[in-house]
Structure 1
Amino acid sequence: MIKIKFGTDGWRAIIADDFTVENVKRVAYATALWLKKEFENPSAVVGCDPRFAGPLFADVTTAVLASQGVKVFRAENTFVSTPMISLGTVRHKASAGIIITASHNPPSYNGYKIKASYGGPATPDDIEKVESTIPDTFEIQLKSVADYQKDGLVEFTNLEDMYVAHVENSFDLEAIRTCGMSWAYDAMYGAGQNVMRRLFPDITFLHCDHNPGFDGQAPEPIQRNLQEFEDLIKLSDGEIASGLVTDGDADRIGLYDADGKFVDSHHILLLLIHYMYKVKKQNGEVYSTFSCTSKIQKLCDAYGLNNTVTKIGFKYICDLIVNSGKPFLVGGEESGGIAAAGHIPERDGVWIGLIIWEFMAKTGRSLSDLVQEIYDVVGSFAVERYDLHVTEELKQSIISNCKNDKYTSFGDHKIARKEDLDGFKFFFEDGTWVMIRPSGTEPVLRVYSEAPDSAASFKVLDATKATLLG
């Protein structure tokens, strides 16, 4: 049997290779043992996203948990999003939530995510407890889900209805629907499609069919994967005010303005702070990961808000939301995972997109105008990134050089100071920066740069690449 390892956001593997019924049984059994040890009357919410064989793996998980006396709230919907599982976990007061998903990974993958009782990522400590008790084999005879339902150990729940009601109670949907702006949504064949059709039946939809293979493309909402959606918006000639995209399990966001320009997470985070604090008069802590724009700190300083910078990974933001004891406003990472006050401590692409649409609807301003409002406070900027594929030996050599201050400049850019919270961020005298961070799983260096515009940012990246690779 293979050794099953959880990554930063669950266990993921190729379907029918390592992601098999037998291996899912092993993981589910370890989850049941953890739940029984940690909770007096353990329970779990279980569902799947639209990936291939999701219902099969969700039923297997349900049966294994029920066989161990864990009460299961099984999503009756064909597929659900990760935020729906997290919300359902809170609403059912369940001990945990489990969703069968590989998120934004290629369609050949599936996966197994565990959510904690508070409706956000389980802690690394809890994941380690599950991982360490995964048995080599699973040989318990299972009954059908229907039989466990008769035993009172399985209860079906409509998580889609629950989520839609939560959205309706939290947003001015009428303003979004009747403001005169037209909207578009690309589900990337993922789990956000049914909810968005229910909330906004009259907007423009793309890739909102049930396609378990995602038409052969990884459902990750980054610009290079969204050319069809981008073209659709550009061809509307300004008719579509904004386009929203979510990934396979709908916890990550992509966003476009009326010109078909991609609006990245750095800008989305700033827009959220601006709307929630300046317009809605909400207050609270801001949390951003180490790879995010420095403009977040600048905007927080201007508004008198506290911004805490964390290591890269949404779990660090979730930990602060849940355990800091302070009111929360906005938190997120550059990869599209963002959370906001008034919801669960979880990434949610649909939810964050609706905040931006509500901002536009309530103010009557275009997305580009709202971005300009941010620039008026903090200045214009662009964050760009290269992934440098190098040998493991060269990767380690570069990291050693970063640690030991061997680099004093990159091209014409003289290093003024360095931060090393999670990788190495080198600041230049004009406030521009470049960040070097090794991948933990492959011979890749991720290199980010922030400068006043994209051309300047790429210029820094090119100079850094030339220095690093000699």
Structure 2
Amino acid sequence: MKIKFGTDGWRAIIADGYTFENVRRVAEGTGRFMQEQGMEKVVIGYDCRFQGQAFSELVAGVLGSMGIQVVLNNATFVSTPMVSYAVHHLKADLGIVITASHNPPTYSGFKLKSRHGGPSIPAEVAAVEDRIPDAPVVQVLTLEELEQKKLLHCKDLESIYIDKVRDSFDLQAIHDSGLKIAYDAMYGAGQRAVRRLFPDAHFLHCEHNPSFHGQAPEPIDRNLQELAATIRNNPGQYDVGLAHDGDADRIGMYDENGNFVDSHHILLLLLEYLYQYKKIKEKVIVTFSVTNKVKQLAEMYGLDVETTKVGFKYIAQRMQETDILVAGEESGGIAVTGYIPERDGIWIALVIFEYMAKSGQSLTQLIQNIYDKVGPFTFDRDDLHISSEKKEMILEHLRSHPVNQFGDRKIAQSEDLDGFKYTLDNGDWVMIRPSGTEPVLRVYAQSESRESVKDLLNTVHDTLHAIES
């Protein structure tokens, strides 16, 4: 079985492709890469998924047997950004996180983190992939054997991260503002850290449940209706709702009325705060699926904007090469200046909380300020679960038979940097792209209202069904 890394690491279904033998193979390929590059130390962590600790200790045993120094968290789960920051803070050469992020609970995965504290760049990931053996060869040492050989170091990665947070934010101003928070961890790895930072928040799904109660831990509106209802059914009791994915590198938010605030709006809020309040004037980087409103606002402020393929690894590579104000993707992965080149759901939430505290305005007011500058908009995404054969057939049709319109809506511009993005003659846009981690075809749409977005998505579905049939 050939093991391939996708948009963000290797993902597979537990007990199917994601087996102890295959994890050993990937660990061995990683070790070979590290040896060839003269790398000596790795930080390994895992999130709340099934058998995360066992898989991480297996990886530690493989790499330790190859003479690599291993740093493990103290026998419990951590978020991906905690591992990423620890790689940077502890001056390690590489980080590994056993996680499938936002994917359904049947999945697990293997993420690689560079010494800069963000995703390994595509060339490094490809190098690891090329070195994965067809069958594992090296022995696996136990943790006791690693300790005897002085190859194992246990650290409290969460406390290292919390100390960094407390040094970087005006937490006193946030607490003094009286900000009332409702938080949904989605049973993910952000639960303890948020409780430590905001013990008075209202907590949902902050228990260790490897099945995620059967729900993919992706912080999008349709998966967060209990959080939305908590805010809507208690008027005036909460100022903001916050949610993170399984490994807490992605973010979703709600305003004080229980309206979802997606990553497009969060990117715009960050841009506004960091430019207007912090007076930072660096480049903005977004992936292909992000709203054009970000470019509109950035250009209004004279800031350069760069667009990458979908996948935070592309952003991380550019962040190692240039200074940025804010960078992010549609799926909730966002990074800001002054930190490691990594998406981090807790960190981004703190920037927004600080913005609310310093401005004295609600999320609704802050978003309205953005709309006053770039105009109102709504975004949504549908995931079409179809066979790989049908998915490829549709994509090949779009490549060979350019679409001129969806229903009676004419296309003004087409782009194919990563998938197919169509800007319509009224400024709305849609995008069609295969998922890099699941057997899914994603359909994105932006328009002025929820009703028009839904209508646009339905029109695109009709077109795709016609192609499929």
Q: TM-score, normalised by structure 2?
A: 0.94
Query: Which deviations, in whole Å up to 9, do the C-alpha atoms of 1:334-389 show, x marking residues without a partner?
Result: 11111111111111111111111111111111101100000000000012223345
Amino acid at match of 1:336: G
The answer on 1:278 being equivalent to 2:264 is no
User: Are residues 79 and 305 of structure 1, via their aligned partners in 2, closer, same or farther at CA, if it must alter by over 3 Å?
Assistant: same
Kept in 2, the 8 Å contact 1:314–1:332? The answer is yes
- Counterpart AA for 2:73: A
CA distance in 1, matches of 2:167, 2:197: 12
In the alignment, the residues of structure 2 paired with residue 86 and residue 235 of structure 1 have an alpha-carbon distance, to the nearest angstrom, of 38
Are 2:25 and 1:26 aligned? yes
Residue in 1 that maps onto 2:195: 197
CA distance in 1, matches of 2:170, 2:47: 27
Residue 457 (structure 1) aligned with residue 453 (structure 2) = yes
Matched with 2:240 is: 242
RMSD: 2.0
Which of 343, 346, 369 does residue 342 from structure 2 map onto?
346
Measured in 1, the distance between the counterparts of 2:106 and 2:459 equals 37
Partner residue, 2:259: 261
Residue 292 of structure 1 aligns to a residue in which SS? coil
Select 1:303's aligned residue among 276, 301, 304: 301
Higher mean alpha-carbon deviation, 238-247 vs 100-109, is at 100-109
Match of 1:146 in 2: 144
Q: What is the aligned partner in structure 2 of residue 118 from structure 1?
A: 116
Q: Which residue of 2 aligns with 1:226?
A: 224
**2: CA distance between counterparts of 1:22 and 1:410?**
47
TM-score (norm 1): 0.94
Tell me the SS of whatever aligns to 2:26.
helix
Letter in 1 for 2:63: L
Equivalent residue runs for 1:372-383 within 5 Å: 372-383=368-379
Shift of 1:394: 6.0
Amino acid across the alignment from 2:99: T
Segment of structure 1 superposing worse, 311-320 or 436-445: 436-445
Instruction: Return 340-349 or 22-31, whichever deviates more.
Output: 22-31
Query: Structure 1 180/157 Cα, relative in aligned 2: closer, same or farther at 3 Å?
Result: same
Q: Which amino acid aligns with 1:79?
A: F
Change (3 A) 1:391 1:117: closer
Q: Is the 8 A contact 1:14 1:110 kept in 2?
A: yes
Q: Deviation string for 1:312-337 (max 9, x for gaps)?
A: 111111111112xx321111111111
Deviation at 1:77, TM superposition (A): 4.7
In the other structure, the counterpart of 2:53 is 55
Task: Give the one of 66, 69, 89 matched to 1:68.
Answer: 66
Amino acid at match of 1:21: F
Equivalent AA in structure 2 for residue 342 of structure 1: G
Which moves more between the two structures, 266-275 or 68-77? Answer: 68-77
Aligned residues: 466
2:416 maps to which residue?
420
Deviation per CA, 1:19-68, whole angstroms, max 9, x where unpaired?
232222222122111101012x5110011112221111111111111111
Closer/same/farther in 2, CA of residues 392 and 211 from structure 1, 3 Å limit:
closer
CA spacing shift, 1:407–1:117, aligned 2, 3 Å: same
- SS state at 2:332 partner: coil
What residue in structure 2 maps to residue 366 of structure 1?
362
Structure 2 CA distance for aligned equivalents of residues 197 and 391 of structure 1: 41
Q: Using the alignment, how far apart are the partners of 2:255 and 2:284 within structure 1?
A: 25
- The CA distance in 2 between the partners of 1:141 and 1:438, in whole Å, is 38
Deviation at 1:270, TM superposition (A): 0.5
Taking the aligned partners of 2:12 and 2:113, their CA distance within structure 1 comes to 19
CA distance in 1, matches of 2:17, 2:438: 19
Question: Are residue 466 (structure 1) and residue 462 (structure 2) matched?
Answer: yes
Shift of 1:455: 1.4
In the TM superposition, residue 181 of structure 1 has moved relative to its aligned partner by: 2.2
Distance in 2 (CA, whole Å) between partners of 1:440 and 1:337 is 15
Which residue does the alignment assign to 1:434?
430
For 2:245, the aligned partner's letter is D
1:234-281 superposed Cα distances (whole Å, 9 cap, x missing partner): 122121100111111110111111111111111111011011111111
Q: Within the alignment, does 1:9 sit opposite 2:8 as a pair?
A: yes
Query: Deviations 1:208-250 (Å, cap 9, x if unpaired)?
Result: 1122222222211111111111111112212110011111111
Aligned equivalents of 1:240 and 1:284: distance in 2?
34
- Partner of residue 214, structure 1: 212
- The one-letter amino acid of 1:228's match is E
Aligned-residue offset at 1:404: 5.2
Give SS of 2:320's match.
helix
Asked whether the equivalents of residues 181 and 239 of structure 2 are also in contact (C-alpha less than 8 Å), the reply is: yes
